[in-house]
A and B are shown apart, each in its own frame.
Chain A
């Protein structure tokens, strides 16, 4: 496991841009112990962008992100990712088991095929998210909540130490939400760090140990109880970030990145 001196995840002065236009500014964030960590903020605040940037799916224009003190490339298999459900085509001709098995591919390397061991693991993971009985179903025939849980099971099958989930509760029925939160809670209990991009304040207060309030920059971060204060929420949801927007425009127009 991780040496205690190394933070699980650290963002150092991270700025992310689409094209030339910065969307998330100067994020500095250290998560040093296993917990349920929420990235909370309004629509268009750049939460998902920040998460994708951490995982190298969107390029950084400044700063760096480290996992266990290392760059992502050296610890890839220890970092699990649950993308937003809409990012894939659910009519794709695979069944539930096929998708969950993809979680084992990283460990298997490029050419080895999943065998009995991987199948057993995949079934276990499906059981944990409550989908053992739909293993052979075509993924398009599942409800939104079930599809989200398939993605979660795939991440579980990866057996990572840090998990990143992008809006796992969006468009998901209440029963699935409960189930997902319980699985995440179990992961935390097993010593894993779980970082969740989330938009619902009510469930955020209920489930997350620590949160970062994000609106194009980190407004506040820390223990949930200390961070979700009326003033902080006011600054996050009704804050005046016109300055950042106008600056981003100016930077894009001038054709230089900071």
Chain B
């Protein structure tokens, strides 16, 4: 796609039904990300899955009883069904000794199945359709509008925005309680926090967010909107209040990008949104600041390069010590590259067909050799190792001992300035 057609799409989208569809998807995704974050940090992602499926019979019953999709009665039915799931799961565990995950697995699939059956029984003309319930249909939503201040506004957007506002308000008001309960339920109980009510509130909020999402993305993919943005945000920040904001933003962005991509490719918007959420997670896993794939890769390459440099400098230093400079000639192409680099940075000086250390190179080399021999000396003293086993560990540790550690190791020795092989340990450079 060329950039001009993309701009054209955007302009068209922003002007019309696409803007409403995207806005609807975005508020829904943000609602799901908000409750999803608390579920994820409480390790309750499976509960989100269970609730998103189990609300179906509640919705079906509410609609069959005359409720309108997206209306208050439907929300009520959904919350009731969600609570029923949780209570039944706990009941099964208490009565039948089923583990929590197996119990939830039995309960929510059964309820979901009942819901599917009820939807099938719905008379034609009711606002219930199995395909819509399972997969949602974002593109249809903007056509069902209500009038606000004379402007037609999609009903689904109004419902979604109301839910989002309500959930944000509830989260702000009870944030402290949610965080304490999530982190340490026993401690929270001791502090007088109504832990059971806080948890029930979170589950009810999950049910509400799920129902608000049903028309747009359906029962199956709402799990992605609950879990994926929170999981990605958890990789990007280590503070819960930031994590919520990041998750909501990731959800909203994925909703818009996914919708546009689906429209271009003529495919399912809900599916595309979930795919984009997955891509966001993959990107977060790669880019997470501390221990992401990219950070780890960069760290490993850096370390390898430092080890190669230091080994080369130490080799030249030892060759000079032995009075045999020729021994320091690079043996492999890789070593040759390192030597060229050290020459370029002024650590090695060319001397005919061999190299010698510059003052800067000597300082660095001496500290590496010093680390190596100090470690051999320390190991020889404190570990039961034969003399010829001291070199390999020192070869590794020499790159990791800082000046402070070297000082401590030296203080531990009694005035001997030689390593176990009798070679001199150079002073700190």
A and B associate: yes
A102-B180, A105-B180, A110-B193 as given contacts; A93 in contact with B238, CB under 8 Å: yes
CB atoms of B238 and A95 under 8 A apart: yes
* Interface residue? B191 (CB, 8 A): yes
| Chain B residues numbered 186-211 whose CB sits less than 8 Å from any CB in chain A | 186-194
Assembled-state Cα–Cα distance A244/B378 (Å) = 54
| Chain B residues numbered 91-111 whose CB sits less than 8 Å from any CB in chain A | none
Assembled-state Cα–Cα distance A140/B238 (Å) = 10
- Tell me which residues across on chain B come within 8 A of A138, comparing CB atoms: 238
Residue from B41, B176, B177, B182 with most neighbouring chain A CB atoms (10 Å)? B176
- Tell me which residues across on chain B come within 8 A of A80, comparing CB atoms: 190
* Interface residue? B237 (CB, 8 A): yes
* Interface residue? A83 (CB, 8 A): yes
- Tell me which residues across on chain B come within 8 A of A114, comparing CB atoms: 176
* Interface residue? A106 (CB, 8 A): yes
In the complex, what residue of chain B is closest to A58 when comparing beta carbons? B186
Q: Give the bracket for the number of chain B residues in contact with chain A.
A: 20 to 34
Number of A-B contacts (CB under 8 A): 79
CB atoms of A93 and B184 under 8 A apart: no
CB atoms of B191 and A87 under 8 A apart: no
- Tell me which residues across on chain B come within 8 A of A154, comparing CB atoms: 187
| Chain A residues numbered 82-122 whose CB sits less than 8 Å from any CB in chain B | 83, 87-89, 92-95, 98-99, 102-103, 105-106, 108, 110-111, 113-114
In the complex, what residue of chain B is closest to A99 when comparing beta carbons? B183
CB atoms of B184 and A88 under 8 A apart: yes
CB atoms of A81 and B186 under 8 A apart: yes
CB atoms of B243 and A79 under 8 A apart: no
Assembled-state Cα–Cα distance A93/B182 (Å) = 11
CB B338 to nearest CB in A, in angstroms, measures 34
**B-contact 0/1 string along A56-98, CB 8 Å cutoff:** 1100000000000000000011011101000111001111001
CB atoms of A93 and B187 under 8 A apart: no
CB atoms of B177 and A93 under 8 A apart: no
* Interface residue? A148 (CB, 8 A): no
Assembled-state Cα–Cα distance A105/B175 (Å) = 12
CB atoms of A94 and B239 under 8 A apart: yes
Other-chain contact of B191, A52, A92, A93, A102 (Cβ < 8 Å): A102
CB atoms of B190 and A102 under 8 A apart: no
A88-B184, A105-B180, A110-B177 as given contacts; A95 in contact with B193, CB under 8 Å: no
Other-chain contact of A106, B191, B237, B240 (Cβ < 8 Å): B191
Interface size on A, residues (CB 8 A): 32
- Tell me which residues across on chain B come within 8 A of A108, comparing CB atoms: 176
Assembled-state Cα–Cα distance A103/B194 (Å) = 16
* Interface residue? B43 (CB, 8 A): yes
CB atoms of A113 and B176 under 8 A apart: yes
| Chain B residues numbered 220-239 whose CB sits less than 8 Å from any CB in chain A | 234, 237-239
CB A152 to nearest CB in B, in angstroms, measures 12
Assembled-state Cα–Cα distance A87/B187 (Å) = 10
Residue from B173, B174, B189, B243 with most neighbouring chain A CB atoms (10 Å)? B189
Could you jot down 11 A-B contacts, CB within 8 Å? A76-B190, A76-B191, A80-B190, A81-B190, A89-B183, A103-B191, A105-B176, A105-B193, A106-B191, A108-B176, A110-B174
Contacts A55-B190, A110-B177 aside, 12 further interface pairs with beta carbons under 8 A come to: A57-B190, A77-B192, A81-B187, A87-B186, A88-B187, A92-B183, A93-B238, A102-B179, A102-B188, A102-B191, A106-B190, A154-B187
Which residues does B use to contact A, with CB under 8 Å? 41, 43, 173-174, 176-177, 179-180, 182-184, 186-194, 234, 237-240, 243
